[in-house]
Amino acid sequence: MSSSKTLRKLEVASPVPADIDIANSVEPFHISEIAKELNLSPDHYDLYGKYKAKVLLSVLDELEGSGDGYYVVVGGITPTPLGEGKSTTTVGLCQALGAFLDKKVVTCLRQPSQGPTFGIKGGAAGGGYSQVIPMDEFNLHLTGDIHAITAANNLLAAAIDTRIFHESTQSDKALLNRLCPPNKEGKRSFSDIMFRRLNKLGISKTRPEDLTPKEVKMFARLDIDPNSITWRRVMDVNDRFLRKISIGQGPEEKGMVRETGFDISVASEIMAVLALTTSLADMRERLGKMVIGNSKAGDPITADDLGVGGALTVLMKDAINPTLMQTLEGTPVLVHAGPFANIAHGNSSIVADKIALKLVGPGGLVVTEAGFGADIGTEKFMNIKCRYSGLTPQCAVIVATIRALKMHGGGPEVVAGKPLDRAYLTENVALVEAGCVNLAKHIANTKAYGVNVVVAVNKFSTDTEAELHAVRNAALTAGAYDAVICTHHAHGGRGAVDLGIAVQKACEDVKQQLKFLYSLDISIKEKIEAIARSYGASGVEYSEQADKQIEMYSRQGFSGLPICMAKTQYSFSDNAAKKGAPSGFVLPIRDVRASIGAGFIYPLVGTMSTMPGLPTRPCFYDIDLDTSTGKVIGLS
């Protein structure tokens, strides 16, 4: 075991207690101790209580020129609705590397949304003896980043409707006079942000009174087409009744009723901007470039056109700093950004990974997680995140479970909240072997990026040796670098030591450079079709709306962006019921939207919703506070 001062020996119990009980049984180290182990001084971070700290981006400037560690991404096979333990495996692997293999390691995870925490899936701090702690703080408010995103998103939404309202009742001259009010000396001037719009319009004048009537109209009247608005309000709660709403019902809004809706906060483009930004200056530019819709003439309208880009950056200025936490065994964790992988790009932030890679240095390891199956999370990690970061991973882990493989082999439906069918609790090697087609497809797709693939089989107590042996054989036959059985849920880092050794070897033995699935200079449709082929599709079918949007984004000059597919996580196809490795299907593209600030085009496959709903019995039934101790109970 490593001699680090902040490593903790776990006393494991069997059967494994509830996640929250394990988390509450361990007293975390003061976060300054974790920071000290990473050679961070108090000048490098701001404390948020005893167990969390925001790491400042100035660390990157100080470490510029120093070497990076190895970069590992954890994806998974196509999951059941219960999840297959990707976060748990990510944490367990890091506990093994840091606490047992004496490696400098940092775990980089997304911040969980409160939607799943109170909805179906529960929290995302890992589980069993492989968790981030304090898990209640991790799963709830953390350091307020998602609240900042919510506030910024909704400020922009308010600015859009307010601008349409005021333009409808005022002349061009009156608009200009109100946008540029006189100072005490009676002189009018443009605010700094207004020069961004003037430059975009090709107007070089610096005084409002010098504008011609035509220029006044161009500058002051955005003339937003209400039917083109793609920007929606957000909140970090699953609420199906907000998917479609009408606004402007009050008498003071003069009949300006419009149909819109809410998304969950983590689906906001501002979340994607946070995850993909590389600096404060870069974030300012990305927030200002976000397109909210078009003018009636068909030109894109941005947050900077509305004059709000600077204010959004102010709301996000602390959120850009990753949050330092710790695992149960005292290894460091950077938590930052939390986009879903099915409706967004599903990866934690570039800045957290860059800071972590410098902190661990050459020979150290940074392990980050990509959401859901490798067809969406890992694909977006490679083709979107690594494109913008310039970072190259050496190893990709694919997490598999016997349970999910049996489902892919033709097992009965797995439903959250219902007991598992007997097929999942008794030995059935043939069912497991049949389901390995899903694993093999993920291995082949991931290997194509030029990384070594290690399969981590997350072992459950009902799995048998014969079933586990079948998965290992299938993984190696499909081209995996190694396949390892892990018991980190039951044993913490000790249960993932073999995985840690395999990952380290895979990193040291990488022979190829990163290869993207598609180049950026091909058309939007060609990129979509390249991704569809990686799923096993024989073709793509575009709705009339999708065709129209693709034509518009191409005309507006956005065709050079990468693609972020919004697709079900439960199948390679658009149909969640199609398990295994379906092929020959036609992938339907219902609509195409653009996150210009974040920097991607996102096609909507089938009937993806950007606002989840609550089930009959949500997780919140189990969550409460022990009022005698102040501790949270029932969080999973």
State pLDDT tens for residues 378-431. 999 999 999 999 999 999 999 999 999 999 999 999 988 789 999 999 999 999
- Chain segment 225-272, per-residue pLDDT in tens: 999 999 999 999 999 999 999 999 998 888 899 999 999 999 999 999
| Phi, psi dihedral angles at 61 (to 5 degrees) | -65, -40
Q: Could you report the per-residue pLDDT of 59-103, keeping only the tens digit for each?
A: 999 999 999 999 999 999 999 988 899 999 999 999 999 999 999
| Percent residues over pLDDT 70 in the chain | 99
* Closest residue by Cα to residue 135 from 18, 260, 296, 7: 18
The whole-model pTM stands at: 0.95
Q: Can you tell me the distance from the alpha carbon of 593 to that of 564, in angstroms, rounded to the nearest whole number?
A: 10
Span 619-623, mean pLDDT?
91
pLDDT of residue 1: 43
Average pLDDT estimate for 513-533: 97
Average the pLDDT over 204-227 and give the result.
97
Alpha helix ranges (H) inside 317-401: 350-360, 377-380, 386-389
Dihedral (C-alpha) 463, 536, 603, 322: value to the nearest 10 degrees? Answer: 40
For residue 8, pLDDT beyond 60: yes
| Token output for 166 | 């005021």
Q: How confident is the model at residue 366 (pLDDT cuts 50, 70, 90)?
A: very high
In the block, residue with structure tokens 């990709």: 396
Q: Note whether 185 and 194 are within 8 A (CB).
A: no
Tell me the mean pLDDT in the region 123-142. Answer: 91
CA-nearest of 591, 549, 619 to 294 is 549
What is the distance between the alpha carbons of residues 367 and 375, in angstroms, rounded to a whole number? 19
Q: Are strands 586-595 and 539-542 parallel, antiparallel or unpaired?
A: parallel
Q: What is the pLDDT of residues 433-476, one digit of tens each?
A: 999 999 999 999 999 999 999 999 999 999 999 999 999 999 99
For the chain, helix, strand, coil in percent to 5 are: 40, 15, 45
Question: Any idea what DSSP says for residue 141?
Answer: T
For residue 581, pLDDT over 80 is answered with yes
For residue 124, pLDDT beyond 80:
no
Query: What's CA 339's distance to the chain center, in Å?
Result: 3
Residue 418 contacts by C-beta under 8 Å, 6 or more apart in sequence?
none
pLDDT of residue 5: 66
Cβ of 466: how many Cβ atoms within 10 Å? Answer: 11
Q: Across residues 185-193, what is the average pLDDT? A: 95
Kindly tell me the sign of the dihedral angle through the C-alpha atoms of 615, 130, 465, 474: positive
| Pairwise CA distance, residues 472 & 342, whole Å | 28
Q: 53: which strand partners? A: 47, 324
CB-CB contact of 70 with 366 (8 Å): yes
Q: What pLDDT shows up at residue 120?
A: 75
pLDDT value of position 4: 60
Residue 74 gets which letter from DSSP? E
In whole angstroms, give the CA distance from residue 335 to residue 141. Answer: 12
**pLDDT higher than 50, residue 630:** yes
Looking at every residue in the chain, the average pLDDT score rounds to 95
Closest CA to 178 of 145, 229, 220: 220
Residues 508 and 103: beta-carbon distance below 8 Å: no
Question: Residues near 189 by Cβ (< 8 Å), separated by ≥ 6?
Answer: 180, 183, 207, 208
Distance separating alpha carbons of residues 339 and 273, to the nearest angstrom? 10
Determine the pLDDT at residue 20: 85
- DSSP designation for 253: G
pLDDT at 294 over 90: yes
Distance CA 621, CA 549 (A): 42
- The pLDDT of residue 2 is above 50: no
pLDDT band at 340; cut points 50, 70, 90:
confident
Beta partners for residue 70, in sequence order: 365
